[in-house]
Amino acid sequence: MVGREKEDKIIPSDQELQKIQYLRMVKTTKPKPTLLRNILGAFVFGGAICTFGQALIELYKSFGLSKVDAGAATSATLVFIAALLTGLGIYDSIAKYAGAGTIVPITGFANSVVAPALEYRREGMIFGVGQKIFSLAGPVLAFGFVTAWLVGLITYLLI
């Protein structure tokens, strides 16, 4: 039967071998990620956000705030702007080009809290917004707490 031979080609007895061959085929067929473009985008947008943040710090200091207070005011301002842009549906369009440039600064954290809050508004305030608001930022908070606790413990033991 002609069909038999063909069947043997598509389903070799060694399924693992078939998987390895397929993964190799996928690797050569898949488009390569545009790494250089992504890195450049992240550098330009991330750098711009940080430069803007520095300008804000200087501005707040010129208003007479202390260095620590100016830093806190700058964080609040950046969070506000990111939240506003998320609400207006602009943030994700910028992030498409910026990548890590808009994720790593505090603006990324604001976006990851506001986006689920908007998304789950339709499931109600308690089980929608309340329950899902930290669904993306949650891991950052959880491991942030763990790290802070560890650093605190080390500081306490050494000093």
Cβ-Cβ contacts under 8 Å for 45 (sequence gap 6 or more): 94, 97, 98, 99, 101, 102
Q: Which residues bind other proteins (CB under 8 A)?
A: 3, 6-7, 9-11, 18-19, 22-23, 25-26, 29-34, 38, 86-87, 89, 91-92, 94-96, 98-99, 102-103, 108, 111-112, 114-116, 118-120, 122, 136
Nearest approach, Cβ of residue 17 and other proteins (Å): 11
Considering the complex, state which of residue 15 and residue 155 has its C-beta at the smaller distance from other proteins. Answer: 15
Check if the beta carbon of residue 73 is closer than 8 Å to that of residue 65.
yes
Considering the complex, state which of residue 69 and residue 119 has its C-beta at the smaller distance from other proteins. Answer: 119
Considering the complex, state which of residue 31 and residue 64 has its C-beta at the smaller distance from other proteins. Answer: 31
Nearest approach, Cβ of residue 70 and other proteins (Å): 26
CA distance 2 to 50: 67
Considering the complex, state which of residue 65 and residue 94 has its C-beta at the smaller distance from other proteins. Answer: 94
- Based on C-alpha coordinates, what's the Rg of the chain? 24
Nearest approach, Cβ of residue 24 and other proteins (Å): 11
How many angstroms separate the Cα of 24 from the Cα of each of 10, 14, 17, 18, 150?
16, 16, 11, 10, 43
